[in-house]
């Protein structure tokens, strides 16, 4: 069975579950976000170990929990919690001073936890804000659909490579299709959701179009960044968790940017009270 068929089957199986959790929100959504971030953290650590680094998985997971936990508590909690993780990671690294490149190992654990934690935290923060159901049901489907447009158009007509040393299959033709798809489906969801109960969010076709365009333009950078790491360590996919799609990190690389972008646009544009 080829990868395109596996990709479609996996999407058919997983998409209804994910959409149902996005719709319901609450703690099921938080638990899903934490679980996916943890799976991505495991893949991140395993990838780096292929190049001889041994970042602490515990440090990566602790940083993720600190950032996602910061959504639900007073803002004064974040700085001392981050400080505690950094200092604990520093003390722990002293016990492993005999390994090669201990400074890089220490920094990679903290950086990975920070990247995954911030991305995961803003997805949770977006869903938790007033009107978050409709905002996240705009942002994530737009990213998924736009990415699918890039995949299928790029696969069929892609000729001009965007960054062949980082992601050789990505083409400017696919990227153009991604941007067009983001604009169109952002406008579509911005028009549709107010007619299905999202009247208080400030979503309109025009605002959805702008948000969809920004997501389509910017979130591929998250894809490229994870591709850069994969190229550096010599792997094609971060894992094999999802047939046809790769690992958890492969699936959330763009979404880690989408949460913050949507939250920032919604906050700045007063989508919600």
Q: Which residue has the higher pLDDT, 222 or 101?
A: 222
Rounded CA-CA distance 178/213 in Å is 9
Rounded CA-CA distance 7/176 in Å is 22
Beta pairing partners, 204: none
pLDDT of residue 84: 96
Q: Read off the DSSP letter of residue 9.
A: H
pLDDT of residue 4: 64
Beta pairing partners, 246: 242
Residues of the chain by 3-state class (helix, strand, coil), percent to 5: 75, 5, 20
Among 2-11, 129-138, 191-200, which is the least confidently predicted range? 2-11
pLDDT of residue 1: 58
Residue 7 predicted with pLDDT over 80: no
Mean pLDDT estimate for the chain: 92
pLDDT, average across residues 201-219: 95
The CB-side HSE value for 208 (13 A sphere, CA atoms) comes to: 27
Per-residue 3-state assignment (H helix, E strand, C coil) for 142-185 = HHHHHHHHHHHHHHHHCCCEEECCCEEEEEHHHHHHHHHHHHHH
CB 150 within 8 A of CB 161: no
pLDDT, average across residues 118-135: 95
Q: Read off the DSSP letter of residue 195.
A: G
Tens of pLDDT, residue by residue over 35-78, are: 999 999 999 999 999 998 999 999 999 999 999 999 998 878 99
Residue from 153, 160, 135, 77 nearest 260 by CA: 135
Rounded CA-CA distance 171/176 in Å is 9
Give the other-Cβ count within 10 Å of 35's Cβ.
11
Q: Which residue has the higher pLDDT, 170 or 241?
A: 170
pLDDT, average across residues 177-181: 98
> Percent of the chain scored above 70 by pLDDT?
96
Q: Torsions phi, psi of 2, nearest 5?
A: -75, 170
**262 exposure class (CB count in 10 Å sphere: 0-12, 13-18, 19+):** buried
| Per-residue tokens: 147 | 């990415």
Predicted confidence band of residue 272 (pLDDT cuts 50, 70, 90): low
| Per-residue tokens: 221 | 């950078």
pLDDT, average across residues 101-127: 96
| Long-range contacts at 201-210 (CB < 8 A, ≥ 24 apart) | 201/130, 201/131, 201/134, 201/135, 201/271, 201/272, 202/131, 202/269, 202/270, 202/271, 202/272, 203/131, 203/134, 203/135, 203/138, 203/271, 207/269, 207/271, 208/138, 209/183, 209/184, 210/186, 210/265
């Amino acid at each position: 069975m080829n990868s395109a068929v596996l990709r479609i089957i996996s999407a058919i199986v997983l998409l209804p579950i994910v959409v149902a959790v996005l719709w319901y929100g609450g703690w099921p959504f938080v638990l899903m976000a934490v679980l996916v971030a943890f799976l991505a953290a495991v893949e991140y650590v395993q990838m780096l170990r292929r190049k001889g680094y041994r970042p602490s998985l515990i440090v990566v997971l602790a940083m993720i929990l600190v950032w996602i936990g910061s959504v639900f508590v007073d803002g004064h909690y974040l700085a001392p919690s981050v400080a505690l993780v950094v200092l604990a990671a520093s003390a722990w690294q002293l016990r492993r001073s005999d390994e090669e490149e201990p400074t890089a190992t220490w920094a990679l654990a903290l950086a990975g936890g920070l990247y995954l934690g911030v991305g995961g935290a803003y997805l949770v923060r977006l869903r938790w804000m007033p009107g978050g159901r409709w905002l996240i049901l705009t942002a994530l489907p737009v990213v998924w659909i736009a990415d699918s447009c890039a995949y299928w158009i790029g696969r069929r007509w892609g000729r001009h490579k965007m960054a062949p040393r980082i992601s050789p299959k990505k083409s400017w033709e696919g990227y153009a299709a991604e941007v067009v798809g983001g604009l169109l489906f952002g406008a579509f969801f911005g028009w549709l959701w107010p007619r299905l109960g999202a009247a208080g969010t400030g979503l309109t076709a025009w605002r959805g179009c702008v948000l969809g365009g920004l997501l389509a333009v910017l979130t591929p950078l998250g894809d490229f960044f994870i591709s850069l790491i994969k190229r550096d360590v010599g792997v094609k996919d971060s894992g094999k968790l999802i047939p046809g799609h790769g690992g958890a990190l492969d699936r959330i690389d763009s979404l880690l940017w989408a949460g913050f972008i949507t939250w920032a646009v919604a906050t700045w544009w007063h989508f919600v009270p």
